[in-house]
Structure 1
Amino acid sequence: AFLTPFCRNHKDIRSYDQEPWRFGMYYEDIIRKFLKLRYELMPFLYTTLEEAHRTGVPVFRPLMLNYQNDQSTLNLDNEFMIGDDLLVAPILKPDITQRLVYLPAGIWYDFWTNKKYPGGRMITADAPLDTVPMFVRGGAIIPTWPAMNYVGERTADPITFAIYPDAAGHASTTLYEDDGVSPAYKTPVLRRTTVTVSRLGRGFRADISAPVGSYDPGARKFRFVVKRSLKMAPVTVADSGKARQLLLR
């Protein structure tokens, strides 16, 4: 539920209390971890929700929708995609600490460890209580912002672009933004920023487009992190509102 638009708990007046702290510190820490991750992923989730609003393609997708020529996805009903880029394989039964996960063709990255897997096969994923198996499609860039308790609690700065290169060293995304509270996006007061990454020698080149739209998010920074590259330090730059290129080495 931490990835869904509605993330809330329900209880009956006659049932046990279900506030996170009622289960003890161990479980409270796990719940806190996933709620923090929900808010860190908000730029990615919001961008995906806008795509669903604009195109009618759902946010949560059976794998066969994204991989229609892959026969192995046709009867697969215990995994799902969020947009094009994030595969989630939830644990659906108690006392399970591992599960089989099918990865379609391409390169996939374990969200938690950044371990890279070739697709087109089934793998065994660890799934202790504090880990939901999630995999990022090679070629994706996942935008995030700092953890917060609710949207607007603090300035969303920096926006971090987590880069997961495909086999050719490419990755891309288009970040969607608006004020998040009003219908001004219809006029349209919104902003789309495209980031494209390609391999360049031993590093990468990031091309940031000039933003499209009139929404102004204010002064902030962009941070770029290439996954599976332990020797490559994150690069942080000011969001100038103009097209620019960066070298990631």
Structure 2
Amino acid sequence: MYWITKSCHEPELYLRWFQMATFLPFYRSHCSNNVEYRAPWTYGEPFLSIIRDFLNLRYHLMPYLYTLAWEASQKGYPLVRPLFWYHPHQMNLWDIDDAFYLGEALLICPILQAGAQSRMVTLPPGRWYSFWDDRVLEGDRQVELAAHMNQIPLLVKAGSILPMDLEKNLVLHIYPPVAGSSEYLLYNDAGDGCGEWRIDQFRIVRFEDGIELFWESQGDYPSIYEFPYEETVIMFHGFMPTQIWIDGREVDPQQLVDDSLKSLKLSAGSQFRQAYFKGAFL
């Protein structure tokens, strides 16, 4: 984001551009030697704390970003994609230049003007979840979304599995498909882009009373029998599980992360092949 800081004189705009840059491939903030000095800590609070939150979010999203970078090397797909990318025949999406996809799962709607507390967003077709509060939005229409200082409109597409890194744990955020099934590939290596690698393939299938999750792996990083995270956490959005079976065995409720049954924590050695979550869609 180095290019956007050269002309920034307002703390609010610096913050807004930092928020947008969190979801771009190139993420670097600095100033020029011929302008007023500015850095994330230049403007004090509350800007510094909000910037820190978005920087942490960037690190949490690293599994998703790293997989997108690998996908770009394999298929040539850009990490950042225009709204018409998945709907090229929908002409109203071709003129939108103030929102973008990051991969297939995330829709980013930046705030580009000082003082803005909301903005209009043209949603592509499909069902969308607010990343911040799980509010559900039906697509293929225009909506006005709130944009308080500590957030920007950030949406997740239904059917997505969004991987995040939280204290060396892999958190799989599952947003159920509206119907049918969807898949996601997670790529891992030693961080050098070459040598040993591992691909984890996840597939979710929606049924009337629950969700089935399949998990297959291939590759040799760090070993086909090892997982490069300490634990796996499954976090549901728009769904409340009440019973869980993993590889045909019902799971002891004591393994659940919290009493709401929204998430399930597994040790690194407990990778499963198939899990069924029975419950209610919200």
Q: What TM-score, normalized by structure 2, do the two folds share? A: 0.77
CA drift at 1:201:
5.3
Residue 137 of structure 1 aligns with which residue? 157
In the TM superposition, 1:72-91 aligns within 5 A as 72-91=92-111
Residue 95 of structure 1 aligns with which residue? 115
Q: Does 1:197 align with 2:204?
A: yes
CA drift at 1:182:
5.6
In the TM superposition, 1:144-163 aligns within 5 A as 144-146=164-166, 156=168, 158-163=169-174
Residue 177 of structure 1 aligns with which residue? 188
Residue 165 of structure 1 aligns with which residue? 176
Residue 277 of structure 2 aligns with which residue? 248
Question: Which of these residues, 228, 234, 237, is aligned with residue 263 of structure 2?
Answer: 234
CA distance in 2: counterparts of 1:115 and 1:74, whole angstroms:
26
Q: Which amino acid aligns with 2:174?
A: I
CA contact (8 A) 1:106 1:138 kept: yes
CA drift at 1:172:
2.9
Tell me the SS of whatever aligns to 2:218: coil
Tell me the SS of whatever aligns to 2:192: coil
CA contact (8 A) 1:163 1:171 kept: no
Q: Does 1:33 align with 2:53?
A: yes
CA drift at 1:106:
1.0
Range that drifts further, 13-22 or 115-124 = 13-22
Change (3 A) 1:182 1:111: closer
Question: Which of these residues, 49, 52, 73, is aligned with residue 72 of structure 2?
Answer: 52
Q: Please identify which structure carries the higher strand content.
A: 2
CA distance in 2: counterparts of 1:108 and 1:218, whole angstroms:
30
Question: Which of these residues, 137, 143, 147, is aligned with residue 127 of structure 1?
Answer: 147
RMSD after superposition: 2.0
Residue 151 of structure 1 aligns with which residue? none
Q: Which amino acid aligns with 2:204?
A: V
Change (3 A) 1:200 1:240: farther
CA drift at 1:82:
0.9
CA distance in 2: counterparts of 1:51 and 1:41, whole angstroms:
15
CA distance in 2: counterparts of 1:129 and 1:233, whole angstroms:
28
Tell me the SS of whatever aligns to 1:43: helix
> Aligned residues, how many?
235
Looking at CA atoms only, which structure, 1 or 2, has the larger radius of gyration? 2
Tell me the SS of whatever aligns to 1:31: helix
Tell me the SS of whatever aligns to 1:212: strand
CA distance in 2: counterparts of 1:163 and 1:25, whole angstroms:
34
CA drift at 1:242:
5.7
Q: What percent of counterpart residues are identical?
A: 30
Q: Which amino acid aligns with 2:237?
A: K
CA drift at 1:244:
1.6
CA distance in 1: counterparts of 2:175 and 2:146, whole angstroms:
21
Structure 2 residue runs of 5 or longer lacking an equivalent are 1-20, 241-259
Q: What TM-score, normalized by structure 1, do the two folds share? A: 0.87
Question: Which of these residues, 226, 229, 235, is aligned with residue 225 of structure 1?
Answer: 235
Structure 1 residue runs of 5 or longer lacking an equivalent are 148-155
